[in-house]
Amino acid sequence: MKPAVVYSNVWEDPELNRLSLKVQPGQNVLSITSGGCNSLCLLLEDPGRLVSIDLNPAQLAMLEFKRAAIIELEYDEFIDVIGVPFLFKPEKSPEYRIELYNRIKKHMPAYATEFWDENQHHIKNGMMMCGKVEKFFKIYRTLLGFLYGKDELMSLFKAENLESQREIYASFRKKRWNALHRLLLNRAVLSLVKGAHSFAQVDFEDFAGNLNKKRTLGMTRFFNPDNYFMCLLMLGGHYHENGMSPYLLRENYPKLKKNIDRLEIFMGTIGDVLKKDGPGSYDRFNLSNIFEWMTNDVFNGIIREVIELARPGSRMAWRYTFARPRELDAQNLSRLAYEPELSDELFRQDMAFIYESFHVYHLK
């Protein structure tokens, strides 16, 4: 089967990585790639090396594309070639995006140009929304649009402040929305999108109920126009230029360009990185939610590899979308210290409101 992009965006708040990992200038960071966004955000912290890994070559091709664009292009061209969607700005033409792609190709390895040559339609349509997850969200948005109409949905984004947004949400007609969640967000449909293995460690069946609660959380904790996760999910674009992932912000582009040669893109697991770089070669670890579907034994095996890779003072963070947290065994517990207060505090400020928990540890 040909590799396909599952996530063209990272649906994880990069602020949680920044505030938990506390990267010091010059440190080596290992980061799970997904859509590449959060690896690029960590590059803004001035690491010595930022090694971004993934098992799926299509995800790595996403990051290769963004890396090549950052090397070659000016800020506005970068935003145009990756197809950053805005709600109130006209889109660039597909031909213009291909023209820019032809300029950046020379900075990509062969596997990435082969992938993008074969998938030029993704570039033409805006590759930032080309993942399977993003396509699923598009279906979700379309159905919501049928159920409510644009104006009613937009009312949730037009409040003057968070207080009045809470009031609008409280009186919003939610019955249809909840019914849509029952239809679309159940184990069977989600397994089709993400693979049944993804939910092997989930204790509950009521996915729709779980996501209804998280939706309420998202709608009542964060001001929607500033929450780019909510805007992308429900409206399909950014509300304004300041409400975007930090790596997309104009003011951060010079630093991104300056640090881009510190980014290494690597296909493989944490165990492969250990074989390649040897013990004691990293200080910080962004582990995304890679443990979501794993058994305790597999989880503890990977944590042992992380510990072997870690230098004194190392920090690491991971999260779960639906699954119960895995438990560290005695050996790993003797090496890692949990930071419960910071974990809880950061979890409460997670603008990507769909997660179940966030976990911060450091090497003892």
Ligand X SMILES: C[S@@+](CC[C@H](N)C(=O)[O-])C[C@H]1O[C@@H](n2cnc3c(N)ncnc32)[C@H](O)[C@@H]1O
**What does the binding site for ligand X look like in residue numbers (CB under 6 A)?**
6-7, 10-12, 32, 34-35, 53-56, 59, 269, 288-290
Q: How far is the CB of 134 from ligand X (least distance, A)?
A: 10
Separation CA 245–CA 260 (nearest Å): 17
Closer CB to ligand X, residue 184 or residue 270?
Answer: 270
Contact 39, 245 (CB under 8 A): no
Q: How far is the CB of 77 from ligand X (least distance, A)?
A: 25
The H-assigned helical ranges of 73-174 are: 75-81, 94-104, 110-118, 120-125, 132-148, 150-154, 162-171
Closer CB to ligand X, residue 148 or residue 291?
Answer: 291
Q: How far is the CB of 356 from ligand X (least distance, A)?
A: 12
Separation CA 356–CA 364 (nearest Å): 26
Q: How long a stretch of residues is the chain?
A: 364
Contact 234, 153 (CB under 8 A): yes
Structure tokens at 265: 């893109």
Closer CB to ligand X, residue 4 or residue 162?
Answer: 4
Separation CA 61–CA 59 (nearest Å): 5
* Closest by CA position to 290, among listed 56, 134, 64, 20: 56
Q: How far is the CB of 76 from ligand X (least distance, A)?
A: 26
Q: Please list, in sequence order, all residues whose beta carbon lies within 8 angstroms of the beta carbon of residue 249, skipping any fewer than 6 positions away.
A: 241, 242
Q: How far is the CB of 318 from ligand X (least distance, A)?
A: 9
Rg over CA atoms, the chain: 20
Closer CB to ligand X, residue 33 or residue 165?
Answer: 33
Closer CB to ligand X, residue 73 or residue 190?
Answer: 190
Closer CB to ligand X, residue 54 or residue 350?
Answer: 54
* Closest by CA position to 233, among listed 48, 42, 9: 9
Q: How far is the CB of 47 from ligand X (least distance, A)?
A: 18
Closer CB to ligand X, residue 28 or residue 34?
Answer: 34
Separation CA 337–CA 300 (nearest Å): 15
Alpha-carbon dihedral of residues 65, 66, 67, 71, nearest 10 degrees?
100
